[in-house]
A and B are shown apart, each in its own frame.
Chain A
């Protein structure tokens, strides 16, 4: 099973600032990495797939990078609606599909 580790667990950021979230895989997942955003009481929403491709309707301030075992989600200028929990997920080698533990982006 591939273990996904996200850091930090919580990120405190002021609106308008840049946020950088990390995700590490216990073995290579190539570029088979997705990022999801989840707000309280809502289902997860796909942001990024293929490590760097934005899903339909996702603003350009969200960008993904990385390959192999190290990945990054960057939010270039945080808007109020971006405060949420973000999960990475590998789909290179499954089952089982595995998610990271999440990073909560909160208002500083």
Chain B
């Protein structure tokens, strides 16, 4: 079955770090563009970061310099290292696969990150 399963969310204090993972099955992460998208409680969708199949990475201005996207080809997983976390980073984080035309054709179920003291 083709699916994405996120993990690693939780409660973290402001200024702390957290690493999210996304396990893919049924396809190869490194052959696709893969993104993280987040959704603050009761709010809309916000794109966070992408890693291209070639390895290039890009970030939303709101997380640039604090978050790092990466992948582990041997484990077929996508990761998001989140440092210097702020209250406004509180959200459900989804990993998502891009189609060949760049819209999202597969989403995980998300993992909740809560930044609070």
In chain B, what residue has the closest Cβ to A48? B103
Q: Which of B35, B45, B102, B110 has the most CB of A within 10 A?
A: B45
Q: B102: shortest Cβ distance to chain A, in Å?
A: 4
Q: In this assembly, does A84 line the interface, its C-beta being within 8 Å of a C-beta of chain B?
A: no
Q: How many A-B residue pairs have CB under 8 A?
A: 60
Point out the residue from B47, B101, B105, B108 that lies within 8 Å of A97, measured CB to CB. Answer: B47
In chain B, what residue has the closest Cβ to A94? B102
Whether A89 and B103, one on each chain, are in contact in the complex, defined by CB atoms closer than 8 angstroms, is yes
**What's the Cα separation between A96 and B62 when bound, in Å?**
11
**What's the Cα separation between A55 and B107 when bound, in Å?**
14
Whether A95 and B104, one on each chain, are in contact in the complex, defined by CB atoms closer than 8 angstroms, is no
Interface size class of B (residues with CB under 8 A): 20 to 34
Whether B101 and A87, one on each chain, are in contact in the complex, defined by CB atoms closer than 8 angstroms, is no
Whether A91 and B44, one on each chain, are in contact in the complex, defined by CB atoms closer than 8 angstroms, is no
Query: What's the tally of chain A residues with a CB closer than 8 Å to chain B?
Result: 24
Chain B residues within an 8 Å CB radius of A50: 101
In chain B, what residue has the closest Cβ to A87? B45
User: Do A49 and B46 form a contact, CB below 8 Å, given A43-B107, A43-B110?
Assistant: no
Point out the residue from B44, B47, B50 that lies within 8 Å of A100, measured CB to CB. Answer: B44
Q: In this assembly, does B99 line the interface, its C-beta being within 8 Å of a C-beta of chain A?
A: yes
Per-residue 0/1 for B46-82: is the Cβ within 8 Å of any A Cβ (1 yes, 0 no)?
1100100000001111000000000000000000000
Whether B105 and A55, one on each chain, are in contact in the complex, defined by CB atoms closer than 8 angstroms, is yes
User: Do A99 and B102 form a contact, CB below 8 Å, given A43-B94, A45-B107?
Assistant: no
Q: Which residues of A contact B (CB under 8 A)?
A: 32, 34, 36, 38, 42-46, 49-50, 55, 87, 89, 91, 94-102
